Amino acid sequence: MTRELSLTERRDAIDDRLEAALETACGDYLLPARTTVVDRDDRWYGQLVALVANSAADAPDSPAILRAATAMELFRGYSHLRERLLARLDTPGTESVAWESNAALLAADYLQTAAYSMLGSLEGADGRACIERLTTVSERIVETLADADLESRPTPTAYRSFVDGTAGALGAGAAGIGATLASADDRQRRRFATVGRGGSVERRIRADVAADTGTSRTDSPVRDDRQLRRYAREQQADATRALRSLSATADVASLREFLGRSVPNGSERR
């Protein structure tokens, strides 16, 4: 492959790989694994992996890059299910809630395992480094969900922390994996991580504020969305500065254009 794919072509390529990875997700208990991934058809985090990798890679959208992008989409499904699971556990117990929680737990574990397996198929040091980066993301998300307060409406400070530890962690991880595949040096990887984190946080906050919901856990309104909008602008500014620095050593035109796209609708915001 000698040319960079369009967003639509790349999404189709990721979708094909997701279908293959989810082939064994059969039965009622694993149905959430398939629906969670299929319903999110923007493939935002997978696109981020590929666009970062393409900015400095010799072969854009190589099979290795597309496998890593697919793994990130599988892991995003895991993160979303874990978030939904903890919200369910805070609901008064019923047989239906218990069944849905068990299904979400099994499906989340399935997606997490599939994501690591996909990265494990990458050859040599790249595969090991990508797995290490995904593990770091996983640890951050687990800690964030464990510390989140399900009972009360979040303050802007609490909500910023929550978004940093979920969407921000996913974005930084996706960019870090892409940078690893592009053999970026440590300084470049840190800057790419800033781009991924800033873009992801800004995207999530804008979508949540637009939907008038302040947390994916309880769908309670956020207090003072002006603070959140300001924080989103700050994150976007950080990402823009990092992109400007990276432009001296990498071709970030496609990545810059991607990050400038409009915010998704509510069903695609995580």
- 211 SS3 class: coil
pLDDT at 124 over 90: no
Q: Stretch 237-264: mean pLDDT, rounded?
A: 89
Nearest to 224 by CA among 204, 199, 205, 238: 205
Element spanning 151, H or E: none
pLDDT at 242 over 80: yes
Would you say residue 2 lies in a domain? no
- What integer pLDDT is reported at residue 265 of this predicted model? 45
pLDDT at 59 over 70: yes
Q: If pLDDT is split at 50, 70 and 90, which confidence band does 86 have?
A: confident
- Look at residue 130 in the predicted model and tell me its pLDDT: 96
- CATH label of the domain that carries residue 226: 1.10.600.10
Q: Is-contact 82 111, C-beta < 8 A?
A: no
pLDDT score of 39? 73
Tell me the pLDDT of the chain averaged across its residues. Answer: 85
Domain count, the chain: 1
Angle 136-239-221 (CA atoms, 0-180°, nearest 5)?
Answer: 80
The string of pLDDT tens digits covering residues 180-227 is 999 999 999 999 999 999 999 999 998 888 776 444 444 445 556 788
Segments forming the whole domain that contains residue 123 = 7-268
Q: 92: Cβ–Cβ under 8 A, 6 or more apart, which residues? A: none
Instruction: Identify the pLDDT of residue 87.
Output: 61
Over residues 159-163, the mean pLDDT reads: 91
What one-letter code names the amino acid at 176?
G
Residue 215 lies in a domain: yes
Distances (CA, A) of 109 to 106, 119, 166, 236: 5, 16, 17, 32
Nearest of 62, 28, 47, 59 to residue 199 by alpha carbon: 47
Structural domain contains residue 1: no
**pLDDT at res. 270:** 53
pTM tops 0.85: yes
**Would you call 123 exposed, middle or buried from its count of C-beta atoms within 10 A (0-12, 13-18, 19+)?**
exposed
